[in-house]
Chains A and B, each alone.
Chain A
Amino acid sequence: MRPVFHSTLVHGTRKRGVVEKMRNKSMDVSSHRQAVAFADNVYWIGVLDPTLRTFDIILRTANGTTYNAYLVKGSEGVAIIDTVKESFSDEFFARLESVADYKDIKVIVLNHLEPDHSGALPELMRRAPQAKLYISQRATSMLKALLKPSSEIAYTTVTTDDTVSLGDRTLRFLHTPFLHWPDTQCTYLEGQGILFSGDVFGCHYCDKRLFNDQVGDFRFSFDYYYAHIMRPFKSHVLDALKLIEPLKLNQIAPTHGPILRERPRRYVTHYRELSTSSLSTDINEQNQSLIVFYMSAYGNTAKMAEEIFEGASIDGVRVSLYDLEGGEVDPFVDLIEAADALVFGSPTINGDAVKPIWNLLSSLAVVNLKGKVGAAFGSYGWSGEAVRMIEDRMRGLKMRIPIQGLRIKLIPTTEELSDCHQFGENIAHALINPNQGSGVIEFSDIH
């Protein structure tokens, strides 16, 4: 049975907020501006944004979102964990004031500094000047850049296992960088087992019933949020889970979407599943995966692609060949995420690579490409800019380009096709044996 928090449990009789009743089907946080208690002296003081339809340009939000902020009362002071988007500050302060006085605020924690959570911070610090701000080391430069303070804001940087005491209760910090900002941390309320997880385990889902066992079906929103926000940082998610999984978790309180109080560990397990490859490969896991994508107008770049495919097919490399004309972007993005090397072939038309190549190369923000091997090739008529442009794009995507691109004027000759074969082979060798330098070379030779 989940305990009911009667108002008598709340410190201070004057300011009580709203006490969340167990399984209260009629709960509606949009009908008032009070704090909502969901554990002993732990309150939601966030806001609903039901009309938002696009978040940060990249995310669709079919029923809006919430900006969740939290308040924890201890015997020796109050902690505020995260704030809200600036334009929603009034409601945030109203909920805060329903359960606490500004003079009692001892601690302010920002789990990351994205504007939708740091928006009310300057005003909060003005109202509670005695409060200390706790952020991660990486957040310091962002704090200055975001708030552009006329005077320095005092802060304390914290990392994993640092704690701050509120008297009878303690907040402990977990350093969880890149989930999804470099400065991300989580904050854990010891004893009560509540993880204030920032954007981790969050989703853009707006529901006045607030708790995962009360709200509508938000599974799509949860997975969609992961796919667009957390997916590029899978390895960092797995690092963070190493810190989170050993915790006793009674509730997870993220900064967006429902508070996860009913079986919260399911969401932790789900994050592990989402961050781990779903289908193990049929080939030896030691093998490297290389994919050749191409577009071809007259079949010349296609001929090059086929020869590169043959050349790259050496022991230890699994090669796949795809004509972009016959596919859709999203499944290719999945393929790219799992590949070790990507080779793009495009003809040059009017001085540029063709649009399907750019469509794919501009759809990769949701996956991590860091350190993957890249290469480019293509047939051209008179100037052949496409290959260099694709190489530059891949460098911009943090890939490394060990083998210089291959351009062939119009129809490849037999000799040129054997160059393609060698090009494929060279890429494959650079992939499986990066440590294959060629002695000392002169700087002028690589310019």
Chain B
Amino acid sequence: MAKAKITFEDINQTVNVPAGTRVIEVSEKVGAGLIYGCREGDCGTCMMEVTEGWNNLTEPSVLEEKVLKENMAGRHNRLACQAQILGDCKVKPA
């Protein structure tokens, strides 16, 4: 299975994960500072900044785009509960 490395910059921790893993599945287990509210892409609590490898996450869905807009997201912000890891990337809390 294809692997990808995600680095949580706030705790300087890198995890080698199967491609397709959602960020939420990893970040809590390593104690990264990303925090979650609804866990289903509605509340915007888990907004993160992708500092490297923006294109190595799945494209945001229409719903995620809408929530990002409502929460005045920056250009490289994503919801950690929605984004799936496809290739190497680095993230931190927004």
Q: Are B33 and A446 in contact (CB under 8 A)?
A: no
A371, A401, A441, A447 pick with most chain B CB within 10 angstroms: A441
Contact-size category for A:
20 to 34
B33 touches A371 (CB 8 A): yes
A191 CB-CB contact with B under 8 Å:
no
Q: Is B56 an interface residue (CB 8 A)?
A: no
Q: Is A140 an interface residue (CB 8 A)?
A: yes
Most chain B CB within 10 A, of A141, A430, A446, is at A446
Query: Do the beta carbons of A436 and B11 come within 8 Å of each other?
Result: yes
Collect the chain A residues with CB atoms within 8 Å of residue B71's CB: 138
Contacts of A442 in B (CB 8 A): 15-16
A246 within 8 A of B: no
Known contacts A137-B70, A437-B13; is A443 also within 8 Å of B18 by CB? yes
Indicate if A440 sits at the interface (CB-CB under 8 A): yes
A395 contacts across to B, CB distance below 8 A: 28, 36
**Contact among B16, B35, B36, B69 with A443 in the assembled complex (CB-CB below 8 Å):** B16
Grouping DSSP codes into helix (H, G, I), strand (E, B) and loop, the A interface class, with mixed when no group exceeds half, is: loop
Bound Cα distance A395, B32 (Å)? 11
- Taking a contact as CB atoms under 8 Å apart, the answer to whether A398 and B5 are in contact is no
Q: Are A436 and B12 in contact (CB under 8 A)?
A: yes
Complex A-B: 30 CB contacts under 8 Å: A137-B70, A138-B71, A140-B70, A370-B35, A395-B28, A395-B36, A398-B35, A398-B45, A399-B35, A400-B32, A400-B33, A401-B28, A402-B11, A402-B30, A402-B31, A403-B31, A434-B10, A434-B11, A434-B33, A435-B10, A436-B11, A436-B12, A437-B13, A438-B13, A439-B14, A440-B16, A441-B14, A442-B15, A443-B18, A446-B26
Q: Which B residues lie at the A interface, using CB under 8 A?
A: 5, 8, 10-18, 21, 26, 28-33, 35-37, 45, 66, 69-72, 93
7 tightest CB-CB pairs across the interface, nearest first?
A: A402-B31, A437-B12, A437-B13, A446-B29, A443-B17, A398-B35, A440-B14
